[in-house]
Amino acid sequence: MNIKKLVTLAIVFVLVLIPTIALAEVQIDSKIIEEARSIAEEKIILGEFTSPLTINLSTIKNGKQNINGKLTEGIRVSKDRTAIGVRDFVNLIYGLEIFWNESHRMVVIKSQNGKSIILPIDKNVIFTDGVMSRIDVAATIDASIGRTFLPMRTLANALGYEVSYDEETHTAELKEPGYVPSIKDAVGAEVPTMQSLIDPINKEFQKQNVVDSILSNKDKPEIKTVSRSVNTITGTVTKNYAEDIERDLMRLINDHRVQNGVKALEIDSNIKNLSDIRVAEVSANPNSNHIRPDGSSWDTVGNVNGENSAAISIRDNNAQALFNAWKSSSGHNANMLRSEFSSFYVSVIFDGENLYAVNLFKQ
């Protein structure tokens, strides 16, 4: 077959095919056609819509969205009603299709579940699943763009959508049946995560902690210490001992004894190593309750007969604070005033924040 014959056949094929395509328009039930013919036409001149208006469309699939920017055909005024492009609106709804029947000048909308809406042009009726209903404003074609417009409320209601309007904000809300707003849609903002709520609080706490640290350190007294190494049950440790506080505390204890008619105690350097060990153990575990790290009693440290221990945060008069802690406790105060005790030593450790004190007594 030569090229000339191929071209001729192709032209014939196209000429045959084109009429077939042109005639393939959506079919409409004859009953609907007859009913529509009985309705008089109403020609409407569409006007430009110039008032402020926000249109929100809420669907189950896509949630709440503003559709002003998606109405490419614009908004019109139809007999004082707000009209939108039928194709524009249908294109925003999942599962809807729109068709045009040129022979009878009708717009046909079909859904996936079989629902159909038919809008005869320039006639005040609408067919929903084949049932005709009257409407106050007919579907009208804007000849300048060849698109059909219908009052927004009429179109939305025909599709089962709820329509509301807020006059103060000039906002129209179109809601699909069964739509439940998410928290974001309800409050109009992203839902904050727990972490996003906690982070600012943590930052404020961190700032406050810095301020508190600066203020607290500003007024903290300087505590002089010397390093001493001791052999505890768990091994050799080196701690910072506050010798000035040790001396002041022993003086306060002896003054207390004298004031209560009890002989002052001798400061026994032989007990010093034992009290150094015990206060090192207490500073490692302030809640040990006179129990040593290996579970044995405090008196296994050496030849001593009584023990007082205390822990406080540092303050202006640390020796007095430690003494007051012991004096306010009946058991500790009794130890400080026992007449059978003849000597003692107090060791105090400072760890940068807290003071730990142990007072060992000997008969």
| pLDDT the model gives residue 14 | 37
Percent of the chain with pLDDT over 90: 62
Is residue 22 domain-resident? Answer: no
| pLDDT the model gives residue 22 | 34
Residue 186 has pLDDT above 70, yes or no: no
Is residue 317 domain-resident? Answer: yes
DSSP letter assigned to residue 233: T
Beta carbons within 8 Å of 29's beta carbon, 6+ residues apart: 130
Is residue 220 domain-resident? Answer: no
> Among residues 159, 175, 191, which one ends one of the domains?
175
- Cβ(74)–Cβ(85) below 8 Å: yes
Integer Cα distance of 271 and 207 in angstroms: 46
Does residue 57 share a domain with residue 141?
yes
HEC string of 78-118 equals ECCEEEEEHHHHHHHCCCEEEEEECCCCEEEEEECCCCEEE
Helices (H), the chain: 3-23, 30-37, 86-92, 152-158, 183-187, 194-219, 243-259, 269-284, 318-327, 330-336
- Cβ(80)–Cβ(68) below 8 Å: no
Does residue 290 share a domain with residue 162?
no
Q: Output the six-digit token pair for 108.
A: 């046909």
Residue 170 sits in a domain whose CATH number is 3.30.457.10
pLDDT digits (tens, 9 = 90+) for 262-272: 999 999 989 99
| pLDDT the model gives residue 208 | 62
Q: Output the six-digit token pair for 60.
A: 């189950």
Residue 344 sits in a domain whose CATH number is 3.40.33.10
pLDDT digits (tens, 9 = 90+) for 202-232: 776 666 655 555 445 545 668 889 999 998 8
How many distinct helices (H) and strands (E) make up the chain? Answer: 10, 20
Is residue 85 domain-resident? Answer: yes
| pLDDT the model gives residue 7 | 42
- Reported as half-sphere exposure (CB side, CA atoms, 13 A), residue 122 has a value of 12
| pLDDT the model gives residue 11 | 40
Does residue 161 share a domain with residue 245?
no
Residue 332 has pLDDT above 80, yes or no: yes
Does residue 146 share a domain with residue 42?
yes
Does residue 161 share a domain with residue 272?
no
> Among residues 175, 200, 233, which one ends one of the domains?
175
Total tally of structural domains belonging to the chain: 2
| pLDDT the model gives residue 205 | 65
Integer Cα distance of 357 and 329 in angstroms: 15
> Among residues 120, 144, 175, which one ends one of the domains?
175
Residue 1 has pLDDT above 90, yes or no: no
- The whole-number average pLDDT for the span 33-37 is 94
Residue 276 has pLDDT above 60, yes or no: yes
Three-state DSSP state, 284: helix
Average pLDDT, the chain: 85
| pLDDT the model gives residue 177 | 87
- Cβ(13)–Cβ(20) below 8 Å: no
**Could you tell me the strand order of the sheet in which 47-48 lies?**
47-48, 75-78, 81-85, 147-151, 140-142
pLDDT digits (tens, 9 = 90+) for 309-322: 999 887 767 899 99
Does residue 165 share a domain with residue 58?
yes
Does residue 168 share a domain with residue 301?
no
Does residue 170 share a domain with residue 46?
yes
- Cβ(307)–Cβ(290) below 8 Å: yes
Host domain of residue 304? 241-362
Does residue 284 share a domain with residue 163?
no
* Amino acid letter for position 269: S
| pLDDT the model gives residue 209 | 59
| pLDDT the model gives residue 206 | 67
Is residue 182 domain-resident? Answer: no
Is residue 304 domain-resident? Answer: yes
Is residue 84 domain-resident? Answer: yes
User: Which of residues 224 and 21 earns the better pLDDT score?
Assistant: 224
Residue 339 has pLDDT above 50, yes or no: yes
- Cβ(88)–Cβ(71) below 8 Å: yes
Does residue 159 share a domain with residue 42?
yes
pLDDT digits (tens, 9 = 90+) for 119-169: 999 999 999 999 999 999 999 999 999 999 999 999 999 988 999 999 999
Residue 21 has pLDDT above 90, yes or no: no
Is residue 15 domain-resident? Answer: no
Does residue 263 share a domain with residue 164?
no
Q: Which of 197-201, 220-224, 332-336 has the lowest mean pLDDT?
A: 197-201
Residues in a beta bridge with 108: 99, 118
| pLDDT the model gives residue 13 | 38
